[in-house]
Amino acid sequence: MDEGSDSRLWTTLKRFFSRKTECHLEEAILEAKDDGELQTDEMSMLLNVLQLDDKQAYEIMVPRTDIVCAEINDTISEVARKSFESGHSRLPIYKETKDQIVGILHCKELLRFFVGEQTPPDLQAVLRTPYFIPETKNVKNILLDFQINKQHMAIVLDEYGGTAGLVTLEDVLEEIVGDIEDEYDPPKPEEIQLIEPGTYLISGRTSLEDLHDECGINLESDQVETLGGYISEQLGRVPDTDESLNLLGYTFHIKEADAKQIQWVIVSTPPSES
C-alpha cells in the first residue's frame, strides 16, 4: 500500500475500533468495503483479526508428528544439519521423547562455532527456555503473548501435559494475511486431490467440513473433526496401511498410516455420486 492508502486505512481502523462489540466491528468493516473505504484485501485482513478470538492453538499448530526437533544428546553438528535441511531458524530440543521439550535452540547461536575458533559447547549451554501454551488457548491471546514476551515459538500441550504440537509467530500471522511462502518451505500437497471422477486422495487431516464442502462426502461426528479421526473412531483403532473398509457407502483405502494416525486415504464414492 502507498502512503495515502496507509493513512486512509489507519483512519478507518481508529473509527472501527471505537465501536464496542465484535458484531459492530464486523458490520462497520463490511460497510466500509461497500462504501469504497477499504480494499478487498484490507477487509479480509480486518475480518481475520476479529476471528482470532474464535480459533484455538490446536487449529493452527504444526502437529507433533511434523515437528522438526533434535535430542538433547545430539552433537552441535547434527543439530546444525537438521536446521539446514529443514530451513528452520529455531528448533525444539527434547529429552528422550517429544513430550519432554527442554529448550529451544536459536540456530544463529551455532554460527560463531563454525566461523570462529571456539570449541562447540554442549547443546544445553545454548538453549533458551521453552514457552508452553495449552491447546485451547485462543489465537489472539497467543499473538499478544508473543508480543509481550518477545517469543516466536510456543510448544502446545494437550490436556495431559504431553506435546500436541507447535505454533510459531508465522502461523499466527498467516491467520491474518494468508499463507506466507518461505523459500525453504517444501511444496505442500493439496489435502484433497481428484484421482478420477468419484475417487479422491485425501489427507487424514482434512476436516469433515471441508470434505463435505469440496467432495460432497457427508461424515458426521461429535467427537472428531478430521477424516483420519473419523475412520479411527469408527474402527476403534488406527487402521494399517493398505487396509480397506466401507462406511456409509463410501470405500476407504488407507494409503499411508503409522501407529498414531492416518496420513492419506483413497476415498471412492458410490457410482451414483460420481
Dihedral pair phi/psi, residue 117, rounded to 5°: -105, 5
Share of the chain above pLDDT 70, in %: 73
Look-up: residue for cell 538433547?
72
Q: How far apart are CA 78 and CA 105, in angstroms?
A: 13
Average pLDDT over residues 8-25: 54
Q: Is the distance from CB of 60 to CB of 171 less than 8 angstroms?
A: yes
Res. 112: pLDDT tops 90 = no
For cell 510459531, the residue is 168
pTM: 0.58
Q: How far apart, in whole angstroms, are the C-alpha atoms of residue 186 and residue 168?
A: 17
What is the C-alpha to C-alpha distance for residues 253 and 201, in angstroms, rounded to an integer? 9
Cα–Cα distance for residue pair 143/150, rounded to 1 Å: 10
CATH ID of 59-177, from 3.40.640.10, 3.30.70.360, 3.40.50.300, 3.10.580.10: 3.10.580.10
Q: What is the pLDDT of residues 125-139, one digit of tens each?
A: 788 999 999 999 988
Check whether 109 has a pLDDT greater than 90. no
In the CATH hierarchy, which fold is given to the domain comprising 192-273?
Answer: 3.30.465
Residue 183: which residues within 8 A CB-CB, separation 6 or more?
Answer: 87
pLDDT tens string 238-273: 899 999 999 888 999 999 988 778 889 999 988 764
pLDDT of residue 140: 86
Identify the pLDDT of residue 120.
Answer: 63
Question: Residue 59 corresponds to which cell in the numbers above?
Answer: 487449529
Which of residues 53 and 9 earns the better pLDDT score? Answer: 53
Give the containing element (helix H, strand E) for 98: strand 97-106
Say if residue 274's pLDDT is above 50: no
- Helix H or strand E encompassing 22: helix 22-34
When mean pLDDT is compared over 19-23, 178-182, 201-205, the highest value belongs to 201-205
Whose CA is closest to 93, among 128, 145, 132, 142?
A: 128
Q: Degrees (nearest 5) of the Cα angle 173, 176, 179?
A: 70
204 φ/ψ angles, rounded to the nearest 5 degrees: -65, -20
Locate 22 and state its grid cell. Answer: 465484535
φ/ψ region of 125 (left if φ > 0, alpha if ψ in -120 to 50, else beta) reads: alpha
